[in-house]
């Protein structure tokens, strides 16, 4: 790869390129490859951003063959190594390690990971303050974001429809004390300047939330022009209709990257590990005083968490949602174990009873 010019280095930096990805790219050791970032994926054809342009690309056969799951293939936000071709789509030959990754369980398959977006610095968890507002949904998104490695920011949009916005913000901060909370309105412009600061230094933000919360309109305001199509929510329940139909990486005119995502009807958690305890750190702190270390805060005696609910220090609804997510995690782990054991049995059988050799 020829040494990039100053302008090309500047563009790569705007796309989020830094020493982490530089080292990973250098380790590939193939000088004819070039770095690029995935902007859109559509039917196995990718639009990618290079140091100088936008091009179409397909995944090389070797990379497809080595991928043991769909999550090992490129997703929006990924950095990849490409081999330019004389004409037609270029080939994606390698996927660089992901620094962060927001995933969920794929629809219809409880054991399949779907990568929503990769290499995000900050996740805007957007919630509309109209009729579809749900603190429980915010908790679920916080749990998924904690596992991703990205920094969460709660964006309470449509602040113009709430009479006492300060009270709403204060209530959310009680359950997410360490997470920044911003109230915004695309109608009167409040709070939008504070969001722009998260894009400084070539950083990447992704907007996540249900349909109708105003993600596309927020993006248009952040970009300074109408880039994304918008639609009104339904009047009877304030739910939106899908405007964004695919994930897309957008360049901010003054630097930084915005990733737009379709509204999610349901966010099914994937591999929460310690993320559940991180998102519910108030419950995790109370649990340290429970009599039993493995207390599930249901029927165990001397449970400090249930005592906090009885004393009014913890919301019963918050505890119930925490237990629901605990159950989801347990079901996922059980199903994964069952599948792993099922895959192991045929392998052991082949080892114990190898196929007979056919003499030549």
CATH of the domain at 46: 2.40.50.140
- pLDDT tens by residue, 203-222: 999 998 888 888 989 999 99
Boundary residue ending a domain (68, 95, 122): 95
Q: Is residue 353 part of a domain?
A: no
265 lies in a domain?
no
Same structural domain, 130 and 33? no
Query: In the chain, how many domains are there?
Result: 3
If asked whether residues 177 and 68 sit together in one domain, one would say no
Q: Are residues 213 and 338 in the same domain?
A: no
CATH number for the domain including 228?
3.40.50.300
Whether 200 and 68 share a structural domain: no
Domain check: are 106 and 226 in the same one?
yes
Domain hosting residue 290, numbered range = 280-347
- If asked whether residues 234 and 133 sit together in one domain, one would say yes
The pLDDT score that the predictor gives to residue 353 is 54
φ, ψ (nearest 5 deg) of residue 152: -85, 145
Q: Which long-range contacts (CB under 8 A, 24 or more apart) does 277-280 make?
A: 278/143, 278/146, 279/139, 279/142, 279/143, 279/145, 279/146, 280/139, 280/143, 280/318, 280/322
Report if residue 1 sits inside a domain.
Answer: no
185 and 141 in a single domain? The answer is yes
Structure tokens at 38: 């995935």
For the chain, strand residue ranges (E) read 34-42, 45-49, 54-59, 79-83, 90-95, 101-105, 113-118, 122-128, 151-157, 181-183, 204-208, 248-251, 257-260
Q: pLDDT tens digits for 234-281?
A: 444 444 444 545 789 999 988 889 999 875 555 555 555 566 777 788
Q: Indicate whether 137 and 242 sit together in one domain.
A: yes
Q: What is the CATH number of the domain that holds 300?
A: 1.10.40.50
Low-confidence ranges of the chain (pLDDT < 50): 233-242, 244, 360
Counting other chains too, the contacts that 342-345 makes at CB distance below 8 Å and 24 or more residues apart are none
Report yes or no on 269 lying in a domain. no
What's the pLDDT score for residue 159? 93
pLDDT at 100: 94
Residues 136 and 232 in one domain: yes
Indicate whether 120 and 249 sit together in one domain: yes
Regarding whether 213 and 120 lie in a shared domain, the answer is: yes
Please indicate, yes or no, whether residues 107 and 175 belong to a single structural domain of this protein: yes
């Amino acid at each position: 790869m020829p040494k990039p010019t100053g302008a090309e280095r500047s563009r790569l930096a705007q796309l989020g390129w830094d020493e982490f990805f530089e080292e990973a790219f250098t380790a590939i050791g193939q000088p004819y490859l070039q770095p690029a970032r995935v902007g859109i994926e559509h039917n196995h054809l990718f639009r990618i951003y290079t140091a100088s342009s936008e091009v179409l690309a397909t995944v090389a056969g070797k990379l497809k063959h080595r991928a043991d799951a769909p999550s090992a293939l490129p997703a929006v936000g990924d950095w990849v190594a490409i081999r330019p071709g004389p004409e037609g789509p270029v080939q994606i030959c390698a996927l660089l390690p992901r620094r962060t990754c927001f995933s969920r369980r794929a629809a219809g398959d409880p054991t399949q990971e779907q990568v929503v977006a990769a290499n995000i610095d900050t996740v805007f968890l957007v919630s509309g303050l109209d009729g579809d507002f749900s603190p429980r949904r915010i908790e679920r998104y916080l749990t998924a974001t904690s596992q991703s490695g990205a920094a969460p920011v709660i964006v309470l949009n449509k602040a113009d429809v709430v009479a006492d916005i300060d009270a709403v913000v204060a209530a959310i901060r009680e359950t997410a004390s360490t997470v920044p909370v911003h109230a915004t309105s695309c109608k009167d412009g409040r709070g939008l300047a504070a969001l722009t600061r998260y894009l400084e230094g070539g950083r990447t933000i992704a907007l996540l939330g249900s349909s109708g919360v105003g993600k596309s309109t927020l993006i248009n305001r952040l970009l300074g022009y109408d880039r994304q199509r918008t639609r009104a929510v339904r009047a009877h329940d304030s739910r939106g209709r899908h405007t964004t139909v695919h994930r897309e990486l957008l360049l901010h005119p003054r630097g930084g990257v915005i990733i737009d995502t379709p509204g999610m009807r349901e966010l099914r958690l994937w591999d929460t590990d310690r993320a559940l305890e991180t998102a519910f750190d108030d419950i995790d702190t109370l649990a340290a005083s429970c009599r039993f270390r493995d207390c599930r805060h249901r029927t165990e005696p001397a449970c400090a968490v249930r005592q906090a609910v009885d004393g009014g220090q913890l919301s019963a609804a918050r505890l119930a949602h925490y237990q629901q997510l605990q159950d989801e995690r347990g079901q996922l782990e059980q199903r994964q174990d069952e599948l792993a054991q099922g895959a192991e049995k045929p392998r052991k059988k082949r080892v114990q009873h190898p196929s007979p050799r056919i003499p030549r």
